[in-house]
Structure 1
Amino acid sequence: MRDDTHPRTVLNNPQAAAMPQQYADIEIENNAQRLPLVLCLDTSHSMSGAPIASLNEALRAWTRELHDDVALSYSVEVAVLTFGDNGVNAWQGPTVLPPNSPVSPFVPAHRFQPPQLRAAGVTQMAEALELAMQVVAARKAELRQLGLQYYRPQVCLVTDGLPTDATGHLSDSWQQVVPVVTEAQQARRFRLYAIGVGSITDRGEAVLRAFAPTFNARLQGFPFRELLQMMSASANAEQRGAGDEVFEKIFSQFKTQRPAWEA
């Protein structure tokens, strides 16, 4: 069932509502209830070296697992957003989309191929979250136009730093986004996971806690594989119509790096 109480407005821009041509046949033939999943990933300079390599490898492994999961592969739709290299970007699978593109970044899970990410640039975290909210709202409007139902979308924010402006200076402008994100989560428009990795500081953890009071974590190292497996577990729980306590249990076990999805 749909899991948000936001008024079901429809995009007026027919170009924005149109599905990417290469996925049009899938959307017509597949009437499964959709589950939009957004990976909002920090690819700033601080992720250079082993962290970005680990993230790329985890994305490749997770993609293989997603393709093999019959329950998820025909209902989950994956969108990747990055903030760092060349600012804030939306990807359609392995291809970065032009700024302000009307094309949806969501790809059916069974056709999803991960991008090859590189680390550079600054940490425009607030702008990335704003884009995540925009693409989720747009995709839900597209699904309504197609007469398809959807589960509550999931957004996973992953970072190792603090929000900056476009010049790389630390910025408090993220605080203006918090009430918007809070209201959207209370209205059940999406579920936000905010994950701090690597050398994220206490101040960075506080930012994530402000964005996602229930689903925030500060993890040792860069356990991207486990993180993506947790997102798959949450997607499975969403399909089963699980209550909030189930998601909290999965996330609590994930924070202690125990495989809740195998329980």
Structure 2
Amino acid sequence: MFPTPQPDEAPLPVPYMGFEFDSAQRLPLLLCLDTSSSLSQHGAIDALNSALTSWATSLVDDMALSAAVDVAVITFGGSDGITVWQGCTPLGTTAPEWPHSPFVPAHEFRPPVLRANGVTLLDRALRLAMEVVADYKAGLRAEGLTYYRPQICVVTDGYPSDIRGNFSYAYRELLPDLRKAEEEQRFRLFAVGVGERHTGAEGVLQELAPHYNAWLDGFPFAELLTAMSHSAKATQGGAAEAEFQEIFARLKRRRGGGQVPA
């Protein structure tokens, strides 16, 4: 999936090289973020960058999360359509395979500075996210390491599109795999819309994540990332499904605030 570095290129860092695991179960958390051109309005991309920076600090400050959570970022938008990030380092449009990975320990996570442009290739980004999580789980198992149920959080503020920017139903090709993954508890998927709601857009999120979907007015990225931290803690604590539903319900209840400016 990722080219082998040439002799004159610096090799990609290997997750946890020189890092003491302390036998902690790993908790993979992948953010799949819309950075298409629509995020350039109303200060949305600045709000996202600010929220990511604050969230990264909060992960370091939280001993439980810092010890267990691994973070990866995939963005959809920009000139390449998809960008995989290892912390603040862009890896390109594909992800490296184990032992290299986009995932980094939470205490080492430095978020990228994102820019808004391009179209919304939601289907491609989500498929890649599923592949990245599957590869990482397999790598952890190969190393004899255990892990909690991973979280994938998809955040978008527009319709899924094709490469020309036209609305696309290509995401529906993923639905059988998503339903099977849900049944087998391979990961927990959150699908969240932000900004001005458009007719039919909420339906896309409902199809992707029937149990955890919401459209939030404005761009409350800080609250959203805090909810992901709460969900991670609930996962560590072996919470029942009802607790995750309550975490998401609280997030949905704040949908009336943070309205998009007129």
TM beyond 0.5: yes
**Residue 248 of structure 1: which of 245, 249, 257 is its match?**
245
Q: In proportion to residue count, which structure has more helix?
A: 1
Q: Distance between the aligned counterparts of 2:135 and 2:220, measured in 1?
A: 31
What is the aligned partner in structure 1 of residue 163 from structure 2?
166
What is the aligned partner in structure 1 of residue 84 from structure 2?
90
Letter in 1 for 2:47: S
Aligned-pair CA distance for 1:218: 0.8
Alignment of 1:111-130 (within 5 A): 111-130=108-127
Contact 2:231/2:244 (CA < 8 Å) preserved in 1?
Answer: yes
What is the aligned partner in structure 1 of residue 35 from structure 2?
43
Determine whether 1:110 maps to 2:107.
yes
Alignment of 1:12-51 (within 5 A): 20-21=13-14, 23-26=16-19, 29-49=21-41, 50-51=43-44
SS of residue in 1 equivalent to 2:200? helix
Aligned-pair CA distance for 1:101: 4.1
Letter in 2 for 1:67: V
Q: Quick one: structure 1 residues 248 and 101, their matched pair in 2 at CA, closer, same or farther if it must change by over 3 Å?
A: closer
Alignment of 1:1-263 (within 5 A): 20-21=13-14, 23-26=16-19, 29-49=21-41, 50-85=43-78, 86-102=80-96, 103-257=100-254
Q: Distance between the aligned counterparts of 2:140 and 2:12, measured in 1?
A: 10
Contact 2:15/2:103 (CA < 8 Å) preserved in 1?
Answer: no
Q: Distance between the aligned counterparts of 1:219 and 1:29, measured in 2?
A: 37
Q: Distance between the aligned counterparts of 1:215 and 1:21, measured in 2?
A: 32
What is the aligned partner in structure 1 of residue 260 from structure 2?
none
SS of residue in 2 equivalent to 1:202? coil
Aligned-pair CA distance for 1:167: 1.8
SS of residue in 2 equivalent to 1:118? coil
Runs of 4+ in 1 over 6 A off after TM superposition: none
Q: Distance between the aligned counterparts of 2:211 and 2:238, measured in 1?
A: 19
Q: Distance between the aligned counterparts of 1:165 and 1:141, measured in 2?
A: 31
Q: What is the CA deviation profile of residues 70-129 of structure 1, one whole-angstrom value per residue up to 9, with x for unaligned ones?
A: 000010000000000121111000011033342310010000000000000000001111
What is the aligned partner in structure 2 of residue 261 from structure 1?
none
Aligned-pair CA distance for 1:177: 1.1
Q: What is the CA deviation profile of residues 21-73 of structure 1, one whole-angstrom value per residue up to 9, with x for unaligned ones?
A: 473112x5442100000000000000004000000000001111111000000
Root-mean-square deviation (CA), in Å? Answer: 1.9
Aligned residues: 243
Q: What is the CA deviation profile of residues 222-263 of structure 1, one whole-angstrom value per residue up to 9, with x for unaligned ones?
A: 0000000000000000000001011001111111129xxxxx
Contact 2:15/2:105 (CA < 8 Å) preserved in 1?
Answer: no
Matched residues, percent identical? 51
Letter in 1 for 2:81: G
Letter in 1 for 2:93: P
Letter in 2 for 1:99: T
Q: What is the CA deviation profile of residues 165-202 of structure 1, one whole-angstrom value per residue up to 9, with x for unaligned ones?
A: 11211111111111111211111000000001101313
Q: Distance between the aligned counterparts of 1:21 and 1:195, measured in 2?
A: 31
| TM-score, reference length from structure 2 | 0.88
SS of residue in 1 equivalent to 2:192? strand
